[in-house]
């Protein structure tokens, strides 16, 4: 088990593709139960960094531990303890909401009974009873997004990675989605989230801002705003990222 106070620790993590350094010696930790915002423009290296943490990509150098396990040597152990939700809330469109949950529950080794009781409770909590038997392809996008989050966390992972979870969703739905994230952290889950929307950065306990493969700023939103003498995270981001060389 992971007894340290950190869910994720990363030191000098680097990923090169040929001559191109996608992620350049990043170092940070994420405390347990924290909502950690991972900001950066497109191409700044967010997704590459996240893939290394999920065990999908092997770092060129540096090291990291997720849920107490080494990201290079113990990737399989990490996979059991994390949840992952990607940009387009990918679920199987031709399966119903319930079938999707059952599939992902089974994949993460839950028993039929566990899946049944958990999905029953989740559908009730989310007020989604009416959506249960509908194919995901026919469900409105806001619900789909919640469902994707539920599917990613049905096995109660220690850490959930959210890759642009609110892309293309209206502000009201986004706010509701964040309520869901808060609820998950109240249960002790750690949330690692990348986002484009800088208003969402305000919801995070701490945020890091990546520019050209490096982490240029890392603190709580309030501290960052103070340091850069800015009113919003948007301004902070613009000041930190103004020297970015990589194109959007």
DSSP 96: B
Dist CA 93 CA 134 (whole Å): 10
Helices 97-107 and 141-153: crossing angle in degrees, nearest 10, is 20
The interface region with other proteins, picked from 53-61, 64-72, 116-124, 187-195 by CB under 8 A, is 53-61
How many residues in the shown chain lie near other proteins by CB under 8 A? 30
For residues 179 and 42, give the distance between their C-alpha atoms in angstroms, rounded to a whole number: 26
Pick 6 or 108: Cβ nearer other proteins: 108
Using the rule CB under 8 A, is 88 a contact of other proteins? yes
Which residue of 95, 156, 239, 244 would you call a contact of other proteins, by CB under 8 A?
95
- Of 112-151, binders to other proteins (CB under 8 A) are 135
Cα–Cα distance list, 193 to 1, 80, 120, 202, 206 (Å): 23, 19, 27, 12, 11
Coil/strand/helix, residue 100: helix
Look at the block and give the residue holding tokens 């909401």.
97
Instruction: Out of 32, 103, 156, 180, name the contact with other proteins by CB under 8 A.
Output: 103
Q: Tell me which of 55, 62, 165, 213 binds other proteins, using CB under 8 A.
A: 55
- Using CB under 8 A as the binding rule, the residues of this chain from 56 to 85 that contact other proteins are 56-58, 76, 79-80, 82, 84
Binding-site ranges for other proteins (CB under 8 A): 54-58, 76, 79-80, 82, 84, 86-88, 90-95, 99, 102-104, 106-109, 135, 152, 161
């Amino acid at each position: 088990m992971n007894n340290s106070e950190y869910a994720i620790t990363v030191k000098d993590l680097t990923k090169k593709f040929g001559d191109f350094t996608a992620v350049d010696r990043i170092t940070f930790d994420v405390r347990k139960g924290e909502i950690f915002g991972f900001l950066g423009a497109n191409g700044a290296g967010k997704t590459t960094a996240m893939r290394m943490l999920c065990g999908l990509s092997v770092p060129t150098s540096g090291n990291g531990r997720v849920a107490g396990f080494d990201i290079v040597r113990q990737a399989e152990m990490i996979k059991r303890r994390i949840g992952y939700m990607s940009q387009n809330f990918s679920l199987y469109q031709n399966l119903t909401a319930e079938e999707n949950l059952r599939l992902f529950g089974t994949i993460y080794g839950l028993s039929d009974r566990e899946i049944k009781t958990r999905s029953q409770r989740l559908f009730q909590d989310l007020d989604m009873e009416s959506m249960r038997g509908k194919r995901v392809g026919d469900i409105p996008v806001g619900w789909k997004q919640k469902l994707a989050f539920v599917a990613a966390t049905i096995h109660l992972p220690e850490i959930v990675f959210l890759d642009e979870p609110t892309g293309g969703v209206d502000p009201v739905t986004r706010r509701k989605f964040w309520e869901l994230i808060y609820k998950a952290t109240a249960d002790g889950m750690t949330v690692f989230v990348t986002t484009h929307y800088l208003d969402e950065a305000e919801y995070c306990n701490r945020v890091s801002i990546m520019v050209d493969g490096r982490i240029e700023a890392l603190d709580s939103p309030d501290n960052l705003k103070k340091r850069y003498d800015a009113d919003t995270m948007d301004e902070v981001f613009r000041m930190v990222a103004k020297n970015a060389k990589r194109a959007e």
